A and B are shown apart, each in its own frame.
Chain A
């Protein structure tokens, strides 16, 4: 077997951290290598070095045995490297072909040669069975197909080595399966694939070999057949992790929150939430599953007072709410972990202490006659740092200086310390590493065990399956059904996520 790509002894230092330290990876022709690691383990840095966006301080890159120097992405493309980014780089208004040739010189400058390009795109699509219409506008295509357009772009540029960065993040289970088939087909045709991921299931389903990164160093490289998820998790985190929680049986109590026929219009006036109804009881976790962008944001913002709703009723503790606003909810015992901690959950330039009192600064605990009680605020910050294991030396450092996991812990500390009766958590573990994810999920379950009602909105199906008691699936702003989380058929949930209503 020939080695197509070799990165040897790559070291990349940033002012405060060493992002990659003496990292060596090897990719063979026709194989799928998974680069596994937590957020911040150095996966992206390594790939950016390969793609010419960063320049390693030390180390060498060999392609087909030849040492190469990659200074920019054009160099990378010239050497046959293609990258499929997690966030698509497509122009929605343009057709597939137009997107594919964007940035390339045409054969007939200064005129476009769309016909010739279209033919090539069609051939590539047929050869790998992509089922992509070269003339379709990208904005009309489902996410899964848009991703294929991204892959087409790299193939059109004659890439032999494809890097896929967190490629499954936006896909339904079925779309993931189709993507896997495409990737396998590509390797059969002699392409070599590097997938970057933090999902263990993905590695086990797809990869031939795995290189695990931890804290910027290679924690090990193993063949898939010689390993299992538990071992991989241990390599990734450096200690034993508990992927499945022991959950006590659910003992639902009274209804704390009730939503009836809720309708929400988004900023463009389009109905983003249509006729959603549910009940949320004390002592249960209701999970709302669904692919990103199916009305989850609008639903969560409407029930937390960040966005007006155009129809339906919301009851909290049995009382109908007419004008929901965040402070009224707070006083009614509702906590909210928002989906975007940078934009909504935190004032990044505020200190930890200040972020901890974002809602309650006006209460008599933290102020008197409009003057803040600095000593109370500070000691509260110190206590929360201890109680919630926030990695910070001092409560007077700004939230911006902390890692994503520790920022999320500030929000958790603030929202849970109030002992909420109702907790609305939206994507509470997005972007967090395994350790922090485990911490957050444990906290959610603890809330439920203490008799709170938890509404969990998440696009990570695995998260919903591991902690929810009941699962609602949302598709284009509608509930496709609500099912108990017992012996769940993933296939069924996948179909619901894709828009098939559950037969009732």
Chain B
């Protein structure tokens, strides 16, 4: 009871003290997206299309109907999960660029479990398949984690290179060892009914992965802000040396964080297989693990913010199709808007300094 009171106290003082700052924090990504869309319209105009029309069809495609909206949500799920994975690792100061690879390897685990054990009830089969994915993703991330923490290797290079290994490993598997017999296409056998994620809105294909990403975001926010583990993660991310001075074993912590980050990315991979594709395919996911970095940065590593920025990225990806069909602007255009939005947000961090310098130059002139 007493803890509840003090929590309210704290939010109150924060509100009074940092109202302006927190408002800017929320506004910055929104303005970044807006600026990205505005600058992006130059490209649309150059194509001879009215930007208003193009954005109308983009939004229409993303949110225009229940079907469109749930399709956006479905696209947001893996982005949100991998976004959380990146946010978790980067919060501790280690950069997991390997979500793509972890996701692919996890898909193998989910497929193997999801295509075996016929007769298992769903309530056991689904968690088991997800767990297999999470575990493989986590173990795959453990390698760069250990190399970084104990040997000082650059985790960015290692995770990135390991992505290719995982992606091509999946290609190899679906062309050979786990290819469905008597099939022309390189793909695995379908996931058993008992291991498929249920759809949560009747008549749509929105699968239960949506609930998982919501729950994980809240859980991660709670861990960051309320637990000793989160305290150490934030501390090591901000000043590893000070935390070591304070008695935290930062190397061990980084390894743990990397494992958990890989697990979350793994859940994304398992979700795609068990909820969307229902079998393992080549190239079933394109650049989700890389977009995850932008998702996490746009959200300023805030797990709840990751949900919103994943929705933004997911709806862009989804709405792009309808825009292309109606106006001829290619889907690749949305990557311009994404990139511009992130650039503007990153720039805004340096803006006060630039303004100051500019003012000084003016004063001198």
Contact status A347-B239, CB under 8 Å: yes
> Using Cβ atoms and an 8 Å threshold, which residues of chain B touch A327?
247
Contact status B226-A330, CB under 8 Å: no
Q: How far is the CB of A269 from chain B (nearest CB, A)?
A: 16
Contact status A361-B245, CB under 8 Å: no
Give the complex CA separation of A327 and B242 in angstroms.
13
Contact status B7-A361, CB under 8 Å: no
Which of B2, B3, B249 gathers the greatest number of chain A CB atoms within 10 Å?
B3
Does B228 lie at the interface of the complex (its beta carbon under 8 Å from any beta carbon of A)? yes
List which A333-348 residues lie within 8 A (CB) of chain B. 336, 338, 343-348
A375-B238 CB under 8 A given contacts A326-B244, A397-B17? no
> Using Cβ atoms and an 8 Å threshold, which residues of chain A touch B17?
394, 396-397
Contact status B239-A55, CB under 8 Å: no
Bitwise, B259-271 to A at CB < 8 A (1) or not (0) is 0000000000000
Q: How far is the CB of B358 from chain A (nearest CB, A)?
A: 14
Give the complex CA separation of A394 and B14 in angstroms.
10
The segment out of A114-122, A141-149, A174-182, A366-374 that lies at the interface is A366-374
> Using Cβ atoms and an 8 Å threshold, which residues of chain A touch B10?
374, 378, 396
Q: How far is the CB of A348 from chain B (nearest CB, A)?
A: 7
Bitwise, B1-33 to A at CB < 8 A (1) or not (0) is 011011101100110010000000000000000
Contact status B244-A350, CB under 8 Å: no
Residue of B with least CB distance to A357: B231
Give the complex CA separation of A326 and B5 in angstroms.
34
> Using Cβ atoms and an 8 Å threshold, which residues of chain A touch B5?
375
Contact status B239-A343, CB under 8 Å: yes
Contact status A358-B246, CB under 8 Å: yes
Residue of B with least CB distance to A394: B13
> Using Cβ atoms and an 8 Å threshold, which residues of chain B touch A466?
none
Contact of A375 among B6, B227, B232, B234 (CB under 8 A): B6
Residue of A with least CB distance to B3: A375
Does B360 lie at the interface of the complex (its beta carbon under 8 Å from any beta carbon of A)? yes
Residue of A with least CB distance to B365: A71
> Using Cβ atoms and an 8 Å threshold, which residues of chain A touch B275?
none
Residue of A with least CB distance to B7: A374
Contact status B231-A361, CB under 8 Å: yes
> Using Cβ atoms and an 8 Å threshold, which residues of chain A touch B235?
347, 350, 354, 358
Contact status B3-A374, CB under 8 Å: yes
Q: How far is the CB of B239 from chain A (nearest CB, A)?
A: 4
> Using Cβ atoms and an 8 Å threshold, which residues of chain B touch A55?
360, 363-364
Contact status A372-B226, CB under 8 Å: yes
Give the complex CA separation of A347 and B93 in angstroms.
13
Contact status B228-A347, CB under 8 Å: no
Contact of A370 among B6, B227, B242, B245 (CB under 8 A): B227
Contact status A378-B6, CB under 8 Å: yes
Which of A336, A343, A375 gathers the greatest number of chain B CB atoms within 10 Å?
A375
> Using Cβ atoms and an 8 Å threshold, which residues of chain B touch A396?
10, 13-14, 17
Contact status B13-A372, CB under 8 Å: no
Contact status B364-A349, CB under 8 Å: no
Contact of A373 among B3, B247, B364 (CB under 8 A): B3
> Using Cβ atoms and an 8 Å threshold, which residues of chain A touch B234?
350
Give the complex CA separation of A370 and B229 in angstroms.
7
Bitwise, A14-36 to B at CB < 8 A (1) or not (0) is 00000000000000000000000
A346-B242 CB under 8 A given contacts A375-B5, A397-B17? yes
Contact status B238-A349, CB under 8 Å: yes
Does A136 lie at the interface of the complex (its beta carbon under 8 Å from any beta carbon of B)? no
> Using Cβ atoms and an 8 Å threshold, which residues of chain A touch B13?
394, 396
Give the complex CA separation of A189 and B9 in angstroms.
67
Residue of A with least CB distance to B6: A375
Contact status A306-B244, CB under 8 Å: yes
Q: How far is the CB of B224 from chain A (nearest CB, A)?
A: 11
Contact status A348-B363, CB under 8 Å: no
Besides A336-B245, A374-B6, 10 other A-B contacts (C-beta < 8 A) = A325-B249, A347-B243, A354-B231, A358-B243, A361-B228, A370-B227, A370-B228, A372-B226, A372-B228, A396-B17
A-B contact pairs, 28 of them (CB 8 A): A55-B360, A325-B247, A326-B244, A326-B247, A336-B245, A343-B242, A345-B245, A347-B238, A348-B239, A349-B238, A358-B235, A358-B242, A358-B245, A367-B227, A370-B227, A370-B228, A371-B228, A372-B226, A372-B231, A374-B10, A374-B226, A375-B2, A375-B5, A378-B9, A379-B6, A394-B13, A394-B17, A396-B17
